[in-house]
Amino acid sequence: MGKLREPLKEITNCGLPQALEVMGERWSFLILRAAFNGFVHFEEFSSELGIARNILSNRLAKLVDNGVLQRTQCEEDRRKVEYRLTEKGLDLLPAMLALRQWGERYGAVEPGGPVLVDAQDGQPIAQIGIRAADGRELSWHDLAWCEPDQVGKPCC
């Protein structure tokens, strides 16, 4: 990293706390994980996650308010409601998987559970990393902060 730094005090203008607000809370995270695993109905979330119904109801409403889940009527049965990931919600997946891979690499996760693969060839997905615009892998040492009007100029 070069000499230019982010304005570190201005947490309100950083995207990360906003993301953590959505998925940093334990139950919200569990609901999101279940949604990524294909759950859509209140009763499915309730029985699978073992969350108290009032908490589940509250967290689902918050995720809908945040635009991460969409609340719609089930097409086959109009009395049923579905909670589906929006595009904004689906876009959380790289961050969730990167955190998950980190936890798997360094945490006390026991091996032997299901492996996340590319359905096409059954091969485990790659480690999520940082890449340049042209696809080269980058490490922390390759990065720099740049004023908007200096973008495109080498800054070492």
Binding to a copy of itself in span 72-91, by CB under 8 A: 85, 88, 90-91
Please say whether the beta carbons of 83 and 89 come within 8 A.
no
Please say whether the beta carbons of 2 and 145 come within 8 A.
yes
Cβ closest to a copy of itself, residue 78 vs residue 101: 101
- CA torsion sign, 39 to 129 to 132 to 17? positive
What does the block give as tokens for 125? 């997905």
Half-sphere exposure of 26 (CA within 13 A, CB side): 4
Of 55, 72, 74, 150, the one binding a copy of itself (CB under 8 A) is: 150
CB of 143 to a copy of itself, least distance (A): 6
User: Is 50 among the residues that bind a copy of itself (CB under 8 A)?
Assistant: yes
CB of 31 to a copy of itself, least distance (A): 10
Cβ closest to a copy of itself, residue 78 vs residue 133: 133
Binding mask 3-42 for a copy of itself (x = CB under 8 A): -xxxxxx-x-xxxxxxxx--xx-x--xx--xx-xxx----
Q: Three-state SS for 60?
A: helix
Enumerate residues 87-146 that contact a copy of itself by CB under 8 A. Answer: 88, 90-126, 128-136, 138-140, 142-146
Cα 125 to its chain centre, rounded Å, is 16
User: Is 67 among the residues that bind a copy of itself (CB under 8 A)?
Assistant: yes
Q: How far is residue 115's CA from residue 21's CA, in Å, rounded to a whole number?
A: 28
Q: How far is residue 71's CA from residue 69's CA, in Å, rounded to a whole number?
A: 7
Of 41, 48, 52, 55, the one binding a copy of itself (CB under 8 A) is: 48
